Amino acid sequence: MALKYKYPAEIKGSRKLYSLFNGVKDPLGVISGNHTISGDSYHLKASLTNKHFIFSQDKELVEYILKQNHKNYFKSEIQSVTLGKYLGNGLLTNNGKDWLKQRRLIQPGFSKIKITNLVSIMEEEMDKAFQSFNNETDIDLYDFFHTLAFNIVAKTLFSSDIDEEKVKELGKIITEIQEVFAKEVRIPLYTQALNILGITHKNIRKSNQAKHIIQSVLDKRRNSKEEKNDLLDMLIHAKYEDTQLPMSDEQLVDEMLILFIAGHETTANALTFIFFEISQHPEAEKKLKQEIAEEGENVFRAENLMKKSFTVNIIKEAMRLHPPAWAIDRQALEDDSFKEYSWKKGTLIILYIAGLHRNPKYWEQPDSFIPERFDDENAKNFAYYPFGAGPRLCIGEHFAMMEMALIIRKFYYNYTFISSQKELQKKALVTLRAVSLHGKIIKKRD
Taking 3-state DSSP, the helix, strand and coil percentages for the chain, each rounded to the nearest 5, stand at 60, 10, 30
Q: How many C-beta atoms lie closer than 10 Å to residue 56's C-beta?
A: 25
User: What's the gap between Cα 311 and its chain centre?
Assistant: 20
Q: What is the DSSP letter of 239?
A: B
**What residues contact 62, with CB distance under 8 A and at least 6 apart?**
56, 351, 353, 356, 383, 385, 389
Angstrom distance (rounded) from CA 209 to CA 216:
11
Q: Are 352 and 31 in contact (CB under 8 A)?
A: yes
Residue 285: Cβ-neighbour burial (10 angstroms; 0-12, 13-18, 19+): middle
CB atoms within 10 A of CB 261: 25
CA dihedral 387, 391, 396, 402 (to 10 degrees): 70
Task: Please list, in sequence order, all residues whose beta carbon lies within 8 angstroms of the beta carbon of residue 189, skipping any fewer than 6 positions away.
Answer: 48
* CB 296, CB 345: distance < 8 Å: no
Determine the Cα–Cα distance for residues 405 and 103; give it in Å rounded to an integer.
Answer: 25
Q: Are 63 and 56 in contact (CB under 8 A)?
A: no
Closest Cα to residue 255, out of 218, 225, 228? 218
Q: How far apart are the first and last CA of the chain?
A: 74
CA-CA distance, 111 to 396, in Å (whole number)? 9
Among the listed residues 125, 48, 119, the one whose alpha carbon sits nearest the alpha carbon of residue 302: 119
Within 10 angstroms of residue 414's Cβ, the number of other Cβ atoms is 14
- CA 327-26-39 angle, to 5 degrees, is 60
- H helix runs in 94-198, sequence order: 96-106, 112-116, 119-130, 141-158, 164-186, 190-197
Q: Is 306 annotated as a binding residue?
A: no
| Residue 303: burial class (beta carbons within 10 Å; 0-12, 13-18, 19+) | exposed
Which residues carry a binding-site annotation? Answer: 394
Which residues carry a binding-site annotation for heme? Answer: 394
